Amino acid sequence: MYEVRIHSRGGQGGVTAARLLALAAFRDGKYATACPFYGAERRGAPVVSFVRIDDEPIKIYSQIHEPDLVVVLDTSIMDVVDVLQGLKGDGTVLLNSAHTLEGCAATCLHVDLTGIALATDLVIAGSPILNTPVLGALAKMGVVTLPSVQQAIREMFTDERNVRAAGAAYEELKI
Amino acid sequence: MSAIPKEEYLLKCTSACAGCSSSLCLRYVLKAAGPDSVLVVPACCTSVIQGIYPGTAMNVPVYNIAFAAAAACASGMSNAFETLGKETNVIVYAGDGGTVDIGIQALSGALERGTNFLYICYDNEAYGNTGMQRSGSTPLGARTTTTPDGKPTAKKDLDRIVEAHNPPYMATACSAYPLDLYKKVKKALSIPGPKFIHILAPCPPGWRYPTEKTVEIGKLAVRTGTWVLYEREYGKLAISGPSKAAMRRPAPLEDYIGAQGRFKNIKPEVIEEMRQGVEQNLQRFAREEAGVC
Amino acid sequence: MLTIATGNKAVATAVRDAKPGVVAAYPITPQTEIVEQIAEFVTAGDLVSQYIPVESEHSAMTACIGASVAGVRTFTATSSHGLLYMHEMVHWAAGARLPIVMANVNRALGPGWNTWAEHTDAFSQRDTGWLQVFVGTVQEAYDATLMAFKIAEDERVLLPVMVNLDGFSLSHIMQSLETVDPGDFLPEYHLPHAIDTENPCGYGPMTGLNDYFRFRWDIERSTRDSVGVIAEVEREFAERFGRSYGPTEEYRCEDADVIVIAMGTLGKEAEVAIDLLRSEGVKAGSMRLRWFRPFPDLDLAGRDVVVIDRGYSFGFGGVIANSVRAKTGIEPYSVIAGLGGQEVTYNDIADFVRDRRPGEEMWFGVSEDV
């Protein structure tokens, strides 16, 4: 089983990112579940979403305490939330950032999802859309395949800019 | 603004959205009410805004109560304080859902019994706490998650329903005019019996406009005549300043509608119906002011 | 159609496929997405139905009562305080013998406000005469909602059915979902006592002391008959659509020395605990209880039983634990866990089994010394 924990702020699309990831994994032929955990449901509050991917049916509903992968869509959350808590020894962190994380104990990857969203004009009500580009990054990491990411995005959204942004993140992420 | 006390009763670190009208208003309500006050809060945005156990963002007692029940709870509290000889302000701070829909029975009962309390309804024209579903207070044509095509019926006229109970004081207010609200709360609390203040509370995520435009949207509501600021003391009508100008020459309704995503793609016939509603309402006020009915 | 969906979406999709003529809708966390999704289906024309956005849950159930007796299939959804607010009418719906289907997304009761999973809301409706099923997966949420209409409308039953799903843990989790075309699995709605102006009757008038109790007995008799109807419907569903359900879902029980009984998502996660225990040489099995009303017979003879209750009857004990004791005579190890969304993992469940003390009650996370 592969366990992913996604950290974001309310309104940034972290929950949708989790659902897209589960849908993409599902289209890859895997079993997948995605679930959000809200504190108080409102714009700006820290939100956590959990995604589990496995070749067998998934019967776990509780929170992910030892993720294989932590995704941080808004690095300002790291001032208030210990996003690395429980990360497995050989786990990976994926940050929405143009820079790497100083002194990161785990495998640290970063990609500027915000920059990609702005460059692709993927902005709604003043907020850059991060949940579709991050799927491209996850495909580059091999968590899901790019064709399934594209299919999942098209199932949930009509705007092709989402697919382009995912493709851009796929290209930009350096493993 | 120099008359307004500096003391804060709404502390920092509430859980409100950026640009939240309700929190903006509550700050002035509490300044007007002072520390000898209890807030009665049914299920609404304020239930969340006050924060999570073990903290609270208010520096007055806040009694959370079930959705349908705010006015009934206030009724019991107010009568109890009277028995105890206390003058503590009992103030209901409720959303539109908990007032105009599920809470209307309790409100009507408390008004009819002459309960000594202040009922404040902050109206963001939908069920905000649960993610913006329609309420009876949602205006015609507005898109909500349960009216994806726009609400087919008009906004319930809460003010005239309250007026029919002949309260000693009632008023409307808007988050864009905090001093006006402050004065109305102060006046209300100086009058015994049931008092009612209905605040228009533009809501950035619900009405779909950028968070920094809350005050601008509120002003447009008043300037277009969509929202009329007024008071009734023992039934006698007094239109508030900003609405006097709107009654003479209301700004185009399209200015207000066009600024909000919840009215996107609204049909021209619906806009026309809205305009007629605004005109009829303004005319009704004008006739009353002129002594013609 | 094979896709991935949340529990709430699965319920709404089943409602779309069941084609009710009237849906009464009122929002409450964590059920709201059900009524929102149904609004979208109606707006898009995927479901042709009268969508009534009522002003409270009491009115939601009452509107369903009116619509049901007028002669159409109806549905509503609620949770926690909403369910409690309509309590009077929940009794009424069963007393009126109306085959209403309601989804209840289990949520804890305030004060303090808590929107996470707990079964006390459903337990509080225990004696209303409603049939109650608790689902554990997104697929089951869809399947059980479809079957609920058929069970409710069966003339041997004619009682409303509540489909329970855990708040957030199931309502908001995405899992795979295969939808079906029910075809004639769900026949056209027919209510024998529907309003008929050609054969006018009075409904629910003053009923005296020599007559009232007979109507209550009628409900009990139909509830007993519902056991057979439920089995028939579940069998037909399995034949037509390939998925089997029963009063319980058993996992590795055949040679088990100890059985874990739970409802909802805890009942599914218990299976992971079972695998863990089995790898340690403990012969454990799990029995996820699906039907709460009517409460099934359970075959537990000769085994230790650990019951996890996600709700409680103050001063009396765990509701399921006491039901198991009453039905089987076995003294379970009664664990009270998961209240208000308290996290209970498969590791915790395995610990409950390892630490079991038959006949005792344990409140997870609480020390008696506190």
B68/B110 Cα distance (integer angstroms): 13
Q: Provide the shortest C-alpha distance from residue C109 to chain A (in Å).
A: 17
User: B133 at the A interface (CB within 8 A)?
Assistant: no
Report percent pLDDT > 70 for chain A.
Answer: 97
Instruction: Please give the CATH number for the structural domain made up of C2-178+207-241.
Output: 3.40.50.970
B210 contacts in chain A (CB < 8 Å):
125-126
pLDDT at position C36 is 97
Name the residue facing C35 among B47, B104, B146 (closest C-beta): B146
Long-range Cβ contact pairs of C353-356 (< 8 A, separation 24 or more):
C353/C258, C353/C260, C353/C273, C353/C277, C353/C282, C353/C284, C353/C306, C354/C277, C354/C282, C356/C258, C356/C304, C356/C306
B21-290 is a CATH 3.20.20.70 domain: no
Architecture, CATH, for domain C248-363: 3-Layer(aba) Sandwich (3.40)
Q: Could you tell me the pLDDT band of residue A41, with boundaries at 50, 70 and 90?
A: low
The structure tokens 């202040």 sit at B118
Query: Could you check whether C2-178+207-241 and C248-363 share the same CATH topology?
Result: yes
CB proximity A11 to B under 8 Å = yes
Neighbours of chain A (3+ CB pairs under 8 A): B, C
What pLDDT score does A97 carry? Answer: 94
Q: Which of C4, C169, C346 sits opposite A26 (nearest CB)?
A: C4
CA distance A76 to chain B (A): 17
Among A165, A163, A142, A148, residue whose Cα is nearest residue A4 = A142
CB contact under 8 A, B133 and C36: yes
Whole-angstrom distance, CA of residue A21 vs CA of residue B118: 50
CATH number at residue A82: 3.40.920.10
Residue C370 confidence (pLDDT): 46
Q: Where are the domains of chain C?
A: 2-178+207-241, 248-363
Query: ipTM of the predicted structure?
Result: 0.90
Domain that holds residue A92: 2-172
pLDDT at residue C168, rounded to an integer = 95
Q: What kind and span of H or E run contains C162?
A: strand C161-166
Report, as ranges of residue numbers, the positions in chain C whose pLDDT lies below 50: 370
What average pLDDT values come out for chain B (293 residues) when binned by 10 residues? 80 81 94 95 92 87 94 94 93 97 96 97 95 96 96 97 98 97 98 98 94 95 98 97 94 96 95 96 94 79
Q: How much is the pLDDT for A39?
A: 62
> How confident is the model at residue A43, as a pLDDT?
61
The count of C-alpha atoms lying within 13 angstroms of the C-alpha of C339, restricted to the half-sphere facing its C-beta, is 20
To the nearest whole number, what is the mean pLDDT of chain A? 92
Given CA atoms C192, C100, C159, C97 in this order, what sign does their dihedral have? negative
Strand A107-111 and strand C304-309: pairing? Answer: unpaired
Please give the Cα distance from A65 to A48 (Å, whole number). 12
Closest-CA residue to B168 (of B142, B187, B141) = B187
CA distance A153 to A139: 13
pLDDT of residue A106 exceeding 90, the answer is no
Name the domain count of chain A. 1
pLDDT of A102 above 90: no
